[in-house]
Amino acid sequence: MSLAWPHQIQLSFGDKTQTIDDSRFTHFSDNNPDIAGSIFSISKNGRTELDIIENLKTFISVVDTGNFTRASRKLKVAVAVVKKRIDHLEEQAGVKLFERSTRSMTLTDAGRRHLLKTRAAVSQVDQLLAQMASKPDRVEGHLRIKVPNGLLGALIGEKLNHFQDLNPAIAIEVLSIDRPVNPVEEGFDVSIMLGPITWPGVIDFTIAPIKRHLVASPSYLAKRGRPQVPGDLRQHDILNYEPRGLNWTFQGKSAPLEVRIEPRLNSNNALQLLKATCMGNGICLLGEHITNPYTQSGELVTVLENYPLADIWVRMHIPEDRLELSHVQALRTHLLSSMSGSAI
């Protein structure tokens, strides 16, 4: 994509044509949004083409906001500009990205299929531009971070707030997502997860171990009794964190003990499971960083203390092409230094 404008630009819109020099282009675009919305770069043969990056950003904005009108407000352009960009993107791609009606707008299969890679591509361009414009003596930029819900509320959120206080020139976008996320495909600078997951082109850093235990409410145990050995769990209502699977492995006196559970509630949201456990709905396996305030207050109690479970590790996943960015390095250093060295 050329960054230099030719001296004369021929603008076409329907049956209208106008030739202007590049110094007048910005003024022209401000006063002709319908035309300027479809003209952002010049091809070698002198014909106008859309700026593909602006089109892709518009596609993402329409998805995130739900319609053209809200996307236009977010992008600060006319609705006609948004429509024109999407029309031209669909024309260039050769597929429909949206099913449109007077009442709704939904992604087509092609739109859903290309959304994640579109986010990743736009994020890479934004990072490149930010890196080119950054000042060497100041850490600045934009960080897009994925954190599991339970970790964000109980642990990571405080660390990120402290990091931003130390680095006021860094803008942070944090998304609470409990499922595993490939940061390359979904356009994240940092993806924080639990457990050993790897992807091509992504480097992971071990941050800290998390201790886990089984907890239940006193009211549940008064009604159903306290399990004495792991096998007793088969007679109890189990609340399970879905990403961990259906096999719970305990450390026995001489060998590991594995119990296959049949959950009454299976969820990928740790906070939902915590609330269900406090309500007396069953026994749950959760990290101490979530349960400590509740066990200390007596709202929850631990069970099967003589059969500990292996720790799981908090890991930070960073795309290889983000590692050299100064603001990504700063966050990595901050999390490693503030969380490493002791179990959570």
Angle (CA) 136-121-145 rounded to 5° is 65
**Is residue 14 very low, low, confident or very high in pLDDT (cuts 50, 70, 90)?**
very low
**Using one digit for the tens of pLDDT, what is the confidence trace for 319-344?**
988 888 888 989 999 988 887 654 45
Strands (E), the chain: 8-13, 16-21, 41-42, 48-49, 98-100, 105-107, 141-147, 170-176, 190-194, 202-210, 212-216, 238-241, 247-251, 256-260, 265-267, 283-287, 301-303, 312-319
Distance CA 86, CA 67 (A): 11
Supply the pLDDT for residue 137.
62
Sequence-distant (6+) residues with CB within 8 A of 31 are none
The residues pairing with 312 across neighbouring beta strands, listed in sequence order, are 210
Query: Tokens 């990091």 sit at which residue?
Result: 163
Asked whether the beta carbons of 250 and 307 are under 8 A apart, the reply is yes
Tell me which of 9-18, 76-85, 270-279 is least confident.
9-18
Query: Tokens 């509740």 sit at which residue?
Result: 294
Distance CA 215, CA 300 (A): 6
Among 43-52, 117-126, 220-229, 285-294, name the most confident range: 220-229
Task: Give the pLDDT mean for 249-274.
Answer: 89
> Considering only CA atoms, which of 159, 120, 149 is closest in space to residue 330?
159
Distance CA 300, CA 282 (A): 11
The residues pairing with 247 across neighbouring beta strands, listed in sequence order, are 260
Domains and CATH numbers, the chain: 8-113 (1.10.10.10), 134-198+319-339 (3.40.190.10), 212-310 (3.40.190.290)
In this structure, the number of other CB atoms found within 10 A of the CB of residue 163 comes to: 19
**Is residue 93 very low, low, confident or very high in pLDDT (cuts 50, 70, 90)?**
confident
Q: Quick check: helix, strand or coil at residue 122?
A: helix
Supply the pLDDT for residue 26.
40
Tell me which of 10-14, 93-97, 109-113, 282-286 is least confident.
10-14
Share of the chain above pLDDT 70, in %: 81
Q: Quick check: helix, strand or coil at residue 287?
A: strand
Question: Is the pLDDT confidence value at 15 over 50?
Answer: no
